[in-house]
A = this chain, B = another copy of it.
Amino acid sequence: MTSRYKITMAYDGTHFAGFQSQPEQRTVQSVLEKAVNKMSKLNEYITIFGSGRTDSGVHALGQVAHFDFPHDVPADSMLRGLNSMLPLDIEIVDCQIVPETFHARYEAHAKRYMYRVSRSWFIDPFKRLYTGHYKYPLDVERIKQAMPDLVGTHDFSSFVASGSQARSHVRTIYEATVEDDPANNELVFEFCGNGFLYNQVRIMVATLLEIGNARRPIHDFLRLYDVKDRNQARETAPASGLYLKEVYYGQQAQEIVAKALLQNQGLRSKIDSQIK
């Protein structure tokens, strides 16, 4: 009997060429498919469907994927079996059997990314693979004033890498926060939205750091939405600081949207048009 499994995973992206399978590359998808197909021992190839790509070097704390497995294996045994076969830079943190209507990509209505910026003058050897690095002075208050400009529905054409194949560059951000963490000498950004374009978070972070360093006016995002010109938001923060933290489905996604609506009344009409 075939069952559909939803898996939630963490991975250290350092040695992966991103999530999606590519010829001759070590990707999260190919490593997962290798393990799942080894377990199934059938000729029919089992494909893993992720919630979306993560780029080369980007980490995950809660990436989600699904696959159909031809044997009746309890979810807990699947979790233990996969973890025993997978390399140590990837871990299945949750596994559930879900209805066949569940789809990791099509049903993902919100995603949360985190970006860690290390502020030391020299690069901390223990953070080099797990943070971005910004050694110049930052006025965190300027960044905090800019963050509300990100929330809402905007055309992010100025914040998309040239390789993007997205038909539309309009996306909605439900939440955008920054936490100053002086104990660790870090700034930690979080962005929750209905979807993000290729490199969007990394370009937004680089722009926010330039605002914090007073190289740009505080409300430069408003201008950048208008000009729709990638060349004006030039920098891209490194992949090492970026984490796909959570992917939201069903009820959970609805609650995120509802909360965003409550906190930003003006967004209702804009957000409504974005949600299927």
Determine the distance from Cα of A16 to Cα of B92 in the docked complex, in whole angstroms: 29
Q: Mark A119-139, 1 if CB is under 8 A from B, else 0.
A: 000111110101000000000
* A90 at interface, CB cutoff 8 A: yes
A125 touches B12 (CB 8 A): yes
Shortest C-beta distance, A89 to chain B (Å), equals: 5
B83 touches A126 (CB 8 A): no
Partner of A125, one of B10, B122, B123, B126: B10
B10 touches A123 (CB 8 A): no
- With a 10 A CB-CB cut-off, give which of A89, A90, A126 has the most chain B CB atoms: A126
Q: How many copies does the complex hold?
A: 2
Of all chain B residues, the one with the shortest Cβ separation from A89 is: B125
* A88 at interface, CB cutoff 8 A: yes
Interface size class of A (residues with CB under 8 A): 10 to 19
Give the residues in chain B near A83, CB-CB below 8 Å: 122
Q: Mark A145-177, 1 if CB is under 8 A from B, else 0.
A: 000000000000000000000000000000000
Q: Mark A1-42, 1 if CB is under 8 A from B, else 0.
A: 000000000111000000000000000000000000000000
B12 touches A126 (CB 8 A): yes
- A191-208 interface with B by 8 A CB criterion: none
* A91 at interface, CB cutoff 8 A: yes
Partner of A128, one of B89, B92, B122, B124: B89
A91 touches B125 (CB 8 A): yes
Shortest C-beta distance, A8 to chain B (Å), equals: 13
Give the residues in chain B near A123, CB-CB below 8 Å: 88, 91
A88 touches B125 (CB 8 A): yes
Give the residues in chain B near A92, CB-CB below 8 Å: 122
- A94-125 interface with B by 8 A CB criterion: 122-125
A128 touches B88 (CB 8 A): yes
For this complex, 19 residue pairs linking A to B, each with C-beta atoms less than 8 Å apart, are A10-B124, A10-B125, A11-B125, A12-B126, A12-B128, A59-B126, A83-B122, A88-B123, A88-B125, A88-B128, A89-B125, A89-B128, A90-B125, A91-B122, A91-B123, A91-B124, A91-B125, A92-B122, A126-B130
Known: A10-B126, A92-B122. 9 other contacts (CB 8 A): A10-B125, A12-B125, A12-B126, A88-B123, A88-B128, A89-B125, A90-B125, A91-B122, A91-B125
